[in-house]
Amino acid sequence: MNFETLKAFVAETPFLSLALAGLTVAIVVTEVRRLFRGYKSLGPAELTRLINSDNALVVDLSASADFEKGHIAGSRNVQPSAFGPDNRLLAPARSLPVVLVCRDGNASAGAAARLKKAGFERVYWLDGGIAAWRQAELPLVKGRGG
């Protein structure tokens, strides 16, 4: 494709061309924001490595009943109503890797942003939550204990 062909395409389909340009800008802006937000998403395999190599604190934001049905071994359950940077479990972990987990990954992403804003140094969230963990066929522990 040369410049003349591209010019002809834009002239023939101005709305489609404008939509393509708009989507391209939106994708670029989203990706740049993601790079600079200060917290990162992890997949199940990356989380496993972080737990094993860096003693990460895994905080599960699920409701108690859901947590008891199945959670990542060693994770600690914190109810969303009690979640915050001053929580007794979280406050001493400002310099440790903290990984937030929920059932689908939505609540944990917002919680990660909150911790990063409060000055936590290494904040992560499990992309896809417990559903992604299950899909990766990784084990869950049942009961109250972590």
Active site residue 102: yes
Instruction: Name the active-site residue from 102, 111, 115, 123.
Output: 102
- Using CA atoms, how far apart are residues 59 and 109, in angstroms rounded to an integer? 12
CB 47 within 8 A of CB 130: no
CB 122 within 8 A of CB 37: no
CA 67 to chain CA centroid, Å, is: 18
**Residues forming beta bridges with residue 76, ordered by sequence position:** 59
- Using CA atoms, how far apart are residues 7 and 5, in angstroms rounded to an integer? 5
Question: Which amino acids are annotated catalytic?
Answer: 102
